[in-house]
Chains A and B, each alone.
Chain A
Amino acid sequence: GEDVEQSLFLSVREGDSSVINCTYTDSSSTYLYWYKQEPGAGLQLLTYIFSNMDMKQDQRLTVLLNKKDKHLSLRIADTQTGDSAIYFCAESMGSSASKIIFGSGTRLSIRP
């Protein structure tokens, strides 16, 4: 089936690292994505990883991909109040990676 799963909520202290986890089902996914959505806004692409990679780092963001377990994670270092948002994991599927299927999103809240 087409299933991307994430936990719904995560709360971290400001300055700590946040780790958001995701599992997906399609082992033939070409790209795996992390999107950020702030209240009342559209989706902003944070980063993506090609399926033949196992890690990608971009400033405060680190993406880890475990293809064997179909597990994707997003680590945000030094979490700030501006990081409060919903984070969506997504995978590309289908012929020519024509579809992108999203998880239900993880709401990240920051404690002072």
Chain B
Amino acid sequence: NAGVTQTPKFQVLKTGQSMTLQCAQDMNHEYMSWYRQDPGMGLRLIHYSVGAGITDQGEVPNGYNVSRSTTEDFPLRLLSAAPSQTSVYFCASRWQSEAFFGQGTRLTVV
């Protein structure tokens, strides 16, 4: 049972490039979320989804897009990367009380 799988683990992008961070879960959870973690700021919610076809904005959605075409996958897209998006990104999936987190993607934008 893989849980929540994020890829890649590390990525360096140039300003203006685009990329997609992948997140997949095999627990059939309805709720999935993306967070970014910056020093001294904890985890901030970027986007979340309560089921396939349904997404909503979190605390810091600007510069990011998401889609949820299947229950298993919740990719996060950066259309034009900026240095301010340098961060560690965590995907989470949840059923009722407990949220399961992926191991994170460390993204650097130069």
Contacts and interface: CB of A to CB of B under 8 A. Distances in A.
Interface stretch (A10-18, A41-49, A58-66, A77-85): A41-49
A54 interface: no
Chain B interface, >50% SS class = strand
Contacts of A41: 103
Interface residues on A, range: 20 to 34
Interface in B53-78: 56, 58-59
B48 A102 contact: no
Contacts of B33: 99-100
6 contacts: A33-B99, A41-B103, A42-B103, A98-B48, A102-B44, A105-B42
Interface of A: 2, 4, 8, 31, 33, 41-43, 45, 48, 50, 88, 90, 96, 98-105
